C-alpha cells in the first residue's frame, strides 16, 4: 500500500526576528500561508528498516540531508519501530532554495503519510513534536493554512483564511544564504518591523488590501548585492497590479497578491518570459486529518 500526499508551498506574509536564543536559534514572529503550488510525496512502508528516497530532481540528496528521509527516521524512532522503513518518491514543483519550505513541506507530508500507513494516528500535536526535530518549518507544514508562528516557528496559532485572491510567485536564478542573512540581522539593529497586529486584524476583517499593505519581511533590509534583483521583481509585481509584494522567508522567491485573476495572469505571463520559476496559484486551506488536499494551478 502507498499513500500520496500533497506538500503545499509556504509563504511568509510577514517575518520578524525578535532576538537570538541561547540555543543558537532565533525567535521569530511570522504570519504564514499555504498556497496550492505543491509537490507530490508518495510513501510506502518497508519491513527491513531502510529508508529510501528518490525525486524528480535527481541531484537532490537521498540520505538524511533529505528532510523526507530525516522525517521518516524520526517518526519510526518516536514509535519505537526500528524494523520499519519507508520508500519515498517526490515529484518536485516547489523550487529549491526559494524560502517556500520545499524540503520542510515534503517532510511534513512524509509524517502525515506514515501516520496513516502505520495506523498509529499520533495526532497533530505529537506529529508537530516529531516535526520540530526535523526542522523549524516542519511543524507548521504538518497542517499548513493560515497561522501565526512564534519561537523557532513551532508555536502556532490559527488565523482566519486569506481572502480569495491570486498569487504570482517568481524566483530568480540564484538562492540566498540563510545563515548569512541571520548573521547580518544579528549585526545591525532592525529599524522597521512588520505590523503583525494590523495584519492579523485585516485577516479578521477579510480585508485583502489591508493584508497586502502590511506585508513585510525584515530580511529584505539585509540582502546582499543580489538583492537588487529581488527588489526588481517586487517592483514588477507591484507595477503589474499586485496589491502587495514581498520576499518570502530568507528568499529568494518573491510573491504578489492580486484581487483579479486577469491581472494576475498578465503579471505571470510577463514575468514567466524572464524567469523559469514563475507560478500562478491561489491560497490553500489547512490540511485536515486524513486529507491529501487538492492540486495546484501554477
The residues carrying an active-site annotation are 10, 137
- Residue linked to cell 544564504: 177
| 18 CB-near residues (< 8 Å, 6+ apart) | 26, 27, 28, 29
C-alpha cell of 172?
A: 530568480
Would you state the cell numbers that stand for residue 290, as one nine-digit string? 486524513
- Number of residues in the chain: 298
As given in the structure block, the three cell numbers for residue 157 are 496559532
Q: How many whole angstroms separate alpha carbon 84 and alpha carbon 282?
A: 37
Asked if 253 contacts 99 with a C-beta cutoff of 8 angstroms, the reply is yes
Q: Is the dihedral of CA 245, 142, 296, 68 positive or negative?
A: positive
Phi-psi region at 130: left, alpha or beta (left = phi > 0; alpha = psi -120 to 50): alpha
Alpha-carbon span 42 to 40, nearest angstrom: 7
Q: What is the DSSP letter of 130?
A: H
CA 8 to CA 73: how far, in whole Å? 22
d(CA 80, CA 84) in angstroms, rounded, equals: 9
Amino acid at each position: 500500500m502507498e499513500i500520496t500526499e500533497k506538500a503545499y508551498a509556504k509563504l511568509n506574509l510577514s517575518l520578524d526576528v525578535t532576538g537570538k536564543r541561547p540555543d543558537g536559534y532565533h525567535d521569530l514572529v511570522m504570519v504564514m500561508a499555504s498556497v496550492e503550488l505543491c509537490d507530490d510525496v508518495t510513501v510506502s512502508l518497508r519491513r527491513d528498516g531502510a529508508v529510501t528516497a528518490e525525486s524528480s530532481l535527481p541531484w537532490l540528496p537521498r540520505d538524511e540531508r533529505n528532510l523526507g528521509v530525516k522525517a521518516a527516521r524520526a517518526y519510526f524512532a518516536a514509535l519505537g519501530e526500528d524494523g520499519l522503513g519507508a520508500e519515498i518518491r517526490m515529484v518536485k514543483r516547489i523550487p529549491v532554495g526559494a524560502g517556500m519550505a520545499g524540503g520542510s513541506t515534503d517532510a511534513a507530508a512524509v509524517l502525515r503519510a506514515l501516520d496513516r500507513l502505520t495506523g498509529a494516528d499520533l495526532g497533530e500535536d505529537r506529529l508537530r513534536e516529531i516535526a520540530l526535530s526535523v526542522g523549524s518549518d516542519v511543524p507548521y507544514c504538518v497542517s499548513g493554512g493560515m497561522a501565526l508562528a512564534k519561537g523557532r516557528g513551532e508555536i502556532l496559532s490559527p488565523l482566519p483564511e486569506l481572502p480569495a485572491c491570486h498569487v504570482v510567485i517568481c524566483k530568480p536564478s540564484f538562492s540566498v544564504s540563510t545563515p548569512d542573512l541571520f548573521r547580518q540581522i544579528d549585526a545591525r539593529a532592525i529599524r522597521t518591523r512588520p505590523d503583525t497586529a494590523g495584519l492579523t486584524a485585516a485577516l479578521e476583517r477579510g480585508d485583502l488590501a489591508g493584508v497586502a499593505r502590511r506585508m513585510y519581511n525584515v530580511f529584505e533590509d539585509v540582502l546582499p548585492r543580489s538583492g537588487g534583483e529581488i527588489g526588481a521583481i517586487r517592483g514588477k509585481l507591484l507595477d503589474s497590479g499586485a496589491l502587495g509584494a514581498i520576499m518570502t522567508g530568507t528568499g529568494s522567491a518573491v510573491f504578489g497578491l492580486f484581487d483579479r485573476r486577469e491581472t494576475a495572469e498578465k503579471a505571470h505571463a510577463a514575468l514567466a518570459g524572464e524567469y523559469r520559476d514563475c507560478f500562478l496559484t491561489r491560497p490553500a486551506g489547512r490540511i485536515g486529518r486524513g486529507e491529501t488536499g487538492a492540486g495546484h494551478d501554477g
